[in-house]
Amino acid sequence: MNFKKRILCIGAGYVGGPTMAIIADKCPDYRVEVVDVNAERIAAWQSADLPIYEPGLDEIVFRNRGKNLFFSTDIEQGIRDSDIIFVSVNTPTKTYGQGAGSAADVQYVEKVARTILACSTSDKIVIEKSTVPVRTAEVMGRILRSGSGNVNFAVLSNPEFLAEGTAVEDLLHPDRVLIGAHDTETGKVALETLAEIYGHWVPADRVVRSNVWSSELAKLVANAFLAQRVSSINSISALCEQTEADVQQVAHAIGLDPRIGSRFLQAGVGFGGSCFRKDILNLAYICGTYGLEAEANYWHQVVTMNDHQQDRFVSNLITALFNTVAGKDIAVFGFAFKADTGDTRDSPAIRVCKQLREEHARLRITDPKAIGNAKLEIPESDEVAYIEDPYEAARGAHALAIMTDWKEYKDLDYERIYQSMEKPATLFDGRNLLDRSALFEIGFNVYSVGRAPLTHF
Ligand code: NAD
Ligand code: UGA
């Protein structure tokens, strides 16, 4: 078949895989190929067992794979054959050298730019899909222009705003598609070429055009603002626990003001995921590099509050269990950083479980999708058991901690769970997921984030 254009995506991760699957589905006239250095990951994308879990993703991949959607490890051939290249590699927090612990590690982005330059024999549009420090496109452009000059490159910024667990829905119905381009003829043509792809399914008024630097920075700022809301409501949850105000009621009351809005006001055990912490730390670091110390400190505080919320959860738990958890079994319900994903990156469960282990608690961890990833974070041992069945995980435990807001946990028979636990049985709802009055009626002592505890003594 003759395709209109050939799209390549470098990086077959949580963003590259789903994003390209949707483009292939909506644009049958384009050939889409996803490449990665990780052969195991590519093999999984080619198999019946995809490397990531996202509701609705399997069927979209299965119906397009082999038609106009392909997965491969041949990066160089992919580059040679393509007209448009999305760069969707990871940009984790740097763990070494200058900026360790806060700056973004952009080495993979740079490597990809060099590979593109080395392998290209025809003009290309290169699109930053990864979340990158503002002005990274300048670096990419400089590298891409450092060759013989026979091949022309246009660099665009097109950050991704999908959230895990709702990736397919977010990609099908985005609030906005942001495209940043340079104000040059090449830039404008490239921008419209990309807009045409999204035009296959995204209403024209949702495609937002900006300069490259605004686009790069807007992505970091969007995550920083979302995380800031979570830390803000979590800071209030601590005050609620002291004053018998109920954080759910406070959030509801303030969220009715359209200037505030109701979303991202769910108090809990803190935000996790691969990006919030990384992107805020990066934003703070960038501020610091421009000498904006007060601004850097301001954003850093969002992360500090998040760590504090997790530590506070553990302290509350230990205090409620008579100041010691040593030798006690704690059932941990949920290890994913949020519901509907198997992703455990920076999950609050990691920090909480590690601290509980330091206190010599024994853990019985369950999760519908994340047990495989969880084992990589906290290895199975005599003191740490992974148990698929939540009823089994709760059996004999002194306490149960809800760490992830899985819908499945709402529908469990808590009477049965209560009967199988050590008494007094205590439930710590880190997500305000369950009906605490019903649990209290059953006999549990109930500690929910941001609400006065319900205890039988
Ligand atoms: P990921 O780690 O799941 O996937 C990145 C992939 O890139 C990996 O499979 C890795 O092997 C591959 N890779 C790295 N260097 C490569 C190279 N030189 N050549 C080929 N492949 C290479 O990461 P992700 O979660 O998909 O995130 C990718 C980017 O998108 C990050 O910048 C992230 O901040 C951003 N982002 C992520 C999400 C999300 O929900 N995960 C949402 C929006 C934006
Ligand atoms: C987030 C953003 O929502 C996406 O727009 C962005 O594209 C993505 O980061 C990214 O850049 O990686 P994601 O991390 O997948 O998406 O999930 P969110 O739904 O934002 O949740 C993040 C964390 O905040 C979760 O741990 C969640 O439980 C927590 N959260 C969220 C709360 O504790 N309270 C809330 O009210 C909302």
The string of pLDDT tens digits covering residues 335-390 is 999 999 999 999 999 999 999 999 999 999 999 999 999 999 999 999 999 999 99
Residue ID of nearest Cα to ligand 2 atom 34: 266
**Buried-exposed string 158-176: b where 16+ CB fall within 10 A, e elsewhere:** bbbbbebbbbbebbeebee
User: What is the pLDDT confidence band of residue 101, given thresholds at 50, 70 and 90?
Assistant: very high
285: CA distance to ligand 2 center in Å?
Answer: 21
Mutate to test the pocket of ligand 2, among 173, 264, 276, 347 (most ligand atoms within 8 A of CB): 276
Annotation marks residue 275 as catalytic: yes
Amino acid at the residue 162? L
Q: Is the CB of 18 under 6 A from ligand 2?
A: no
Ligand 1 atom with minimal separation from the 159 CA:
44
106: CA distance to ligand 1 center in Å?
Answer: 11
Mutate to test the pocket of ligand 1, among 20, 90, 221 (most ligand atoms within 8 A of CB): 90
Q: What is residue 149's predicted lDDT score, i.e. its pLDDT?
A: 85
Q: Is the CB of 313 under 6 A from ligand 2?
A: no
Phi first, then psi: give them for residue 377, nearest 5 degrees: -80, -45
**Buried-exposed string 415-440: b where 16+ CB fall within 10 A, e elsewhere:** eebbeebeebbbbbbbbbbbebeebb
Topology given in CATH for the domain delimited by 5-202: Rossmann fold (3.40.50)
- Per-residue pLDDT reduced to its tens digit, 21-45: 999 999 999 999 999 999 999 999 9
Q: What is residue 456's predicted lDDT score, i.e. its pLDDT?
A: 97
Round the average pLDDT of the chain to a whole number and report it. Answer: 97
Ligand 2 atom with minimal separation from the 162 CA:
7
Mutate to test the pocket of ligand 2, among 93, 162, 233 (most ligand atoms within 8 A of CB): 162
Mean pLDDT of 104-133: 98
Which secondary-structure segment (H or E) carries 244?
none
120: CA distance to ligand 2 center in Å?
Answer: 37
Q: What is residue 1's predicted lDDT score, i.e. its pLDDT?
A: 73
The residue extents of the domains of the chain are: 5-202, 211-457
The verdict on pTM exceeding 0.85 is yes
Let me know if the fold of 5-202 is the same as that of 211-457: yes
Q: What is residue 56's predicted lDDT score, i.e. its pLDDT?
A: 97
Q: What is residue 409's predicted lDDT score, i.e. its pLDDT?
A: 98
92: CA distance to ligand 1 center in Å?
Answer: 9
Runs of H (alpha helix) within 82-206: 107-119, 136-144, 167-172, 185-198
Could you tell me if 34 and 12 are in contact, meaning their C-beta atoms sit under 8 angstroms apart?
A: yes
pLDDT above 90: residue 148: no
User: What is the pLDDT confidence band of residue 206, given thresholds at 50, 70 and 90?
Assistant: very high
In angstroms, rounded to a whole number, what is the distance separating the alpha carbons of residues 300 and 298?
6
Could you tell me if 126 and 116 are in contact, meaning their C-beta atoms sit under 8 angstroms apart?
A: yes
Q: What is residue 2's predicted lDDT score, i.e. its pLDDT?
A: 86
Report residue 107 as tokens. 């080495």
Exactly one of 27, 275, 287, 353 is catalytic; name it.
Answer: 275
Ligand 2 atom with minimal separation from the 274 CA:
12
181: CA distance to ligand 2 center in Å?
Answer: 27
131: CA distance to ligand 2 center in Å?
Answer: 15
Q: Which residues lie with the beta carbon below 6 Å from any ligand 1 atom?
A: 10-16, 36-38, 41, 75, 88-91, 108, 111-112, 130-131, 160, 162, 164, 274-275
Mutate to test the pocket of ligand 1, among 15, 52, 119, 346 (most ligand atoms within 8 A of CB): 15
- Per-residue pLDDT reduced to its tens digit, 257-286: 999 999 999 999 999 999 999 999 999 999
Q: Which CATH superfamily is domain 211-457 in?
A: NAD(P)-binding Rossmann-like Domain (3.40.50.720)
